[in-house]
């Protein structure tokens, strides 16, 4: 598993923590998040959350998670940087 890598010019690292609270949304399928960030790496509330990723972008802690039944991800961290990860 890659621990540090570059995506769209951003330094990305995997971390075991997400954020403290939801800060935004990301309309990207789980398969695309998995392609960019790898397998989900954070355990979250199994009654509410299906998949969760903890990572950093340029040293800033970030997180993406999908509530069960949702196709829109919730995010923690700087939205502009998170969205840049998924630009094509």
Secondary structure class of 37 (helix, strand, coil):
helix
Give me the pLDDT at residue 2, please.
64
Residue keyed to tokens 């990207």: 28
Give the model confidence (pLDDT) of 12-53 as tens digits.
999 887 777 889 999 999 999 999 999 999 988 999 999 999
* Residues of the chain above pLDDT 70, percent: 98
Q: What is the rounded CA–CA span in Å between residue 31 and residue 14?
A: 17
Please give the model's pTM, rounded to 2 decimal places: 0.91
Higher pLDDT, 77 or 3: 77
Yes or no: say if 24 and 82 are a contact pair by the CB < 8 Å rule.
yes
């Amino acid at each position: 598993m890659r621990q540090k890598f570059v995506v769209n010019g951003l330094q990305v690292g995997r971390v075991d923590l997400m954020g403290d609270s939801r800060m935004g949304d990301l309309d990207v399928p789980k398969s695309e998040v998995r392609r960019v960030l790898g397998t989900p790496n954070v355990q979250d509330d199994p009654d509410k959350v299906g998949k969760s990723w903890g990572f950093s972008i340029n040293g800033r802690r970030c997180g993406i998670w999908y509530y069960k039944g949702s196709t829109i991800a919730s995010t923690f961290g700087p939205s502009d940087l998170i969205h840049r990860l998924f630009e094509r």
